[in-house]
Chain A
Amino acid sequence: MSVEILMPALSPTMEEGTLAKWLVKEGDRVEAGDVIAEIETDKATMEVEAVDEGILGKILVPEGSEGVKVNSPIAILLEEGESAGDVNKSAADKGHSIHQQDQDKKEEVAVTSMGVNEPIFTPASDPDLPENVEMEEMTVRQALNEAMAEEMRLDDDVFIMGEEVAQYQGAYKVTQGLLDEFGERRVIDTPITEHGFAGIGVGAAFAGLKPIVEFMTFNFAMQAIDQIVNSAAKQLYMSGGQINVPIVFRGPNGPAARVAAQHSQDFSSWYAHVPGLIVIAPYSAADAKGLLKAAIRSPNPVVFLENELLYGVEFEVPKIDDFILPIGKARIAREGKDVTIISYSMGMKYATEATEKLVAAGVDVELIDLRTLRPLDMESVINSVKKTGRAVIVEEGWPKCSVGSEVSAQIMEKAFDYLDAPVMRVAGKDVPMPYAENLEKLALPSTEEVIEAVNIVSYRS
């Protein structure tokens, strides 16, 4: 049977090309792999190889022809004993039908994909605490440490690796005591090679282990961001649901004190941008404990953003076994009806201080701690804004394309008619972090700025 040789697509973008040169003539015998023609594409001159063996019966497109469409027949290859005349016409017809089919298929895709809606995320609620539950004062550092120790006791697949996590007891002492309890098989000091050990962690998670990868700070995770984004976040999707990556990347994030530009930066919005990741940024010790335990149990890759300056701050933590919180649920830190302040991580410090002063001045503030940045609990935010009609978002990160930008955009989309004033953002200033004490203070958001923003959206003076 004769075979049509079609104009090949030789690059992802090629739709037509020039048939520059025939290297064989009618009647020539060709073997699979023989170069039979040269084609100029949108990128380069390429060689066309014969796929089947046979005799070149007829050249349908002469050399020098421009604008030859991909997939149109350019020659006919005959088997032994066939003649060219029999097949000329049918070949041309077939070429047309292939194009037609192709076009139909494309239209079908365009139409069906229009009707697909993003699934709506519904977070679980916080667990009900027993009546008269005892609370204990605990630093964020202790809370994180307990969360890891508890999960490591429960599951041998959980281990921690990072710089100085074992013998040194943690650069910020978050892993203190873990080496003594769990030994060097499960508490592993790495060399200073973020890219490498992040990749090793992700590979171990491919195989079903549940690594906790500690970055001494998230500034250094920039060395490893390819493994976080390209390997961890996309793996489940790229594998059609076959391989999940149950890993936690954790460590201090956000501005620290007087360490200047390269060690003082909030990466929240960077990670919150990436589908496939879970991003958590707690403020209180209770949230740090309950959410880190949830992160370690999560079947998904989690970026867990802590804050160095909060490590030593004490909060109340419920004294119950296995205290775990739902990922993706915001916490209403204070209920109110006049204005909504939304924040997370260290931003909550400014937001809380501002709330106290505003309440004292008679403004009934509703304060929301997002806790999880992806998925974002917009339901809680929207319900609040519908009540108050005013919103201020507070964060330490840079203002451009920030978490605040996203929350603000969604409020505009989902609660526009409820707004009594434009949404305002209070953020870090749009500069690298300066070293000088006064400049550093200016670069960070402040309680005063939050109060000022609330006054503006409330039309108070």
Chain B
Amino acid sequence: MAKKAVKKIPAKNSAKNRARKTQSANSNEPRFSKEEELYAYREMLLIRRFEEKAGQMYGMGLIGGFCHLYIGQEAVVTGVHMASKEGDQSITSYRDHGHMLVVGIDPKAVMAELTGRRDGLSKGKGGSMHMFSKEKYFYGGNGIVGAQVSLGTGLAFANKYRGTDDVALVYFGDGAANQGQVYESFNMAKLWDLPVVYIIENNRYAMGTSLERGSAQTELYRRGESFGIKGEQVDGMDVRFVKDAAARAIEHARSGKGPYILEMMTYRYRGHSMSDPAKYRSREEVTTMRAERDPIEQVKRRILANKLANEDELKQIEKEVRAIVVEAADFATKSELPDASELYTDVVLSEL
């Protein structure tokens, strides 16, 4: 197994950023096949366009309440998914649209849930933050910061109890990383060597509080050290590094060695939710990230530079993705509101 490469995304210093990019041209970069590059491009583009459309529909009042967009973080779920296998469960918090699209949940059902319609994934009863798919092993979509870490550890418990070779992929943010139950879960996961990979999506802001202002110790991949859980920091803007690290972590968990922590250094372009003006960071910080580190642009540049596809072929992918998103938005707008009789259904199942 390759020794882990600890990579950091430079924060605000673009000179350092350029230095890293020069370095990254060297040979210890993970390599993607043509299929992998094109797959990653398409998946990330789908998430990006879907989220842009969701933002637009929120603006039109078609989506209500809280709506947290994943724009900027696409490489994380895409790379992790590429390293997983069918049967591996995933669970996350409320910034969950990307996680659902990448595991293959129908974009129409996700968008119709956002608009609160009867054809939504949760029949319109869950909304943006509460969606699930047993069929795709996706367990939410959880609205309470950190709760998904214990729940996901429970999924891993079930895998071990039943003797399957499935691994639970548990996503949470830098904000959740300070919740108490995260450490209760780390402790039990290592105590019982549960097959779980903890993926910390460090987008540097817990709502409006920067990592430095909220965490006494900001190297989140080290948060499992006192339990003996291995961790590594990963360039979460480069889907190749994400997949490479995820493969290592998942293999570790699948082989019975217990939990593993991946700290994905990533960035969200939009505010915490639709109603967040994001005044806690400079516009320059965001534009620099977009211009220099964008996960989709990175893949696109490589595809073109290595002639894996030409501009026209990429435009064709873009066109297909747009069509999927337009179809989803159209479906979500036309689907009916839930029937009023649904108010009292699904509260409890009838007793046997």
Flag if B151 contacts A206 (CB, 8 Å): yes
Flag if A102 contacts B61 (CB, 8 Å): yes
Flag if B349 contacts A299 (CB, 8 Å): yes
Flag if B275 contacts A8 (CB, 8 Å): no
Interface residues on B, range: 35 or more
Q: Cβ of A115 < 8 Å from any Cβ of B? A: yes
| Alpha-carbon separation in the docked complex, A198 to B154 (Å) | 9
User: A10-B59, A11-B274, A276-B348 given as contacts; is B154 within 8 A of A113 (CB)?
Assistant: no
Cross-interface CB contact of A206 among B123, B139, B143, cutoff 8 Å = B139
Interchain Cβ contacts within 8 Å, total number: 206
User: A70-B61, A231-B144 given as contacts; is B139 within 8 A of A203 (CB)?
Assistant: yes
Flag if B155 contacts A203 (CB, 8 Å): yes
Which residues on B sit within 8 Å (CB–CB) of A328? Answer: 351
Flag if A116 contacts B154 (CB, 8 Å): no
Task: Give A326's nearest chain B residue, CB to CB.
Answer: B351
| Alpha-carbon separation in the docked complex, A70 to B274 (Å) | 15
| Alpha-carbon separation in the docked complex, A185 to B277 (Å) | 50
Which residues on A sit within 8 Å (CB–CB) of B279? Answer: 44
Which residues on A sit within 8 Å (CB–CB) of B162? Answer: 209
Task: Give B121's nearest chain A residue, CB to CB.
Answer: A240
Q: Cβ of B126 < 8 Å from any Cβ of A? A: yes
Flag if B134 contacts A243 (CB, 8 Å): yes
Question: Quick one: which of A274-291 are within 8 Å of B by CB?
Answer: 275-276, 278
Which residues on B sit within 8 Å (CB–CB) of A243? Answer: 132, 134, 139
Flag if A116 contacts B343 (CB, 8 Å): yes
Task: Give B49's nearest chain A residue, CB to CB.
Answer: A32
Minimum CB–CB distance for A217 against chain B, Å: 19
Chain A interface residue count, Cβ-Cβ cutoff 8 angstroms: 76
Task: Give B135's nearest chain A residue, CB to CB.
Answer: A242
Q: Cβ of B84 < 8 Å from any Cβ of A? A: no
Q: Cβ of A47 < 8 Å from any Cβ of B? A: yes
Question: Quick one: which of B77-101 are within 8 Å of A by CB?
Answer: 89, 91
Cross-interface CB contact of A227 among B150, B188, B275, B352, cutoff 8 Å = B150
Minimum CB–CB distance for A147 against chain B, Å: 16
Question: Quick one: which of A99-129 are within 8 Å of B by CB?
Answer: 102, 105, 108-109, 112-113, 115-116, 118-119, 124
Task: Give B89's nearest chain A residue, CB to CB.
Answer: A207
Cross-interface CB contact of A202 among B89, B151, B337, cutoff 8 Å = B151
Q: Which of B177-185, B214-222, B232-240, B250-258 contacts A (4 or more CB under 8 A)?
A: B177-185
| Alpha-carbon separation in the docked complex, A48 to B126 (Å) | 27
Q: Which of A188-196, A385-393, A439-447 contacts B (4 or more CB under 8 A)?
A: A188-196
Which residues on A sit within 8 Å (CB–CB) of B142? Answer: 231
| Alpha-carbon separation in the docked complex, A116 to B139 (Å) | 30
Flag if A244 contacts B187 (CB, 8 Å): no
Q: Cβ of A238 < 8 Å from any Cβ of B? A: yes
| Alpha-carbon separation in the docked complex, A329 to B265 (Å) | 55
Flag if B351 contacts A113 (CB, 8 Å): no
User: A102-B61, A237-B347 given as contacts; is B191 within 8 A of A191 (CB)?
Assistant: yes
| Alpha-carbon separation in the docked complex, A239 to B302 (Å) | 40
Which residues on B sit within 8 Å (CB–CB) of A263? Answer: none
Cross-interface CB contact of B351 among A108, A275, A327, cutoff 8 Å = A327
Minimum CB–CB distance for A417 against chain B, Å: 28
User: A9-B61, A203-B154, A205-B154 given as contacts; is B185 within 8 A of A196 (CB)?
Assistant: yes
Cross-interface CB contact of A203 among B59, B132, B151, B184, cutoff 8 Å = B151
| Alpha-carbon separation in the docked complex, A369 to B61 (Å) | 51
Flag if B151 contacts A231 (CB, 8 Å): yes
* A-B contact list, 23 entries, CB within 8 Å: A44-B277, A46-B275, A70-B61, A116-B343, A118-B344, A191-B187, A193-B188, A195-B181, A196-B187, A199-B147, A199-B151, A200-B157, A200-B188, A203-B91, A203-B152, A206-B155, A207-B89, A207-B155, A207-B159, A209-B157, A227-B151, A230-B143, A240-B122
Closest 10 A/B residue pairs (Cβ) = A203-B154, A199-B150, A196-B184, A8-B59, A240-B123, A11-B275, A207-B158, A203-B151, A240-B122, A193-B184
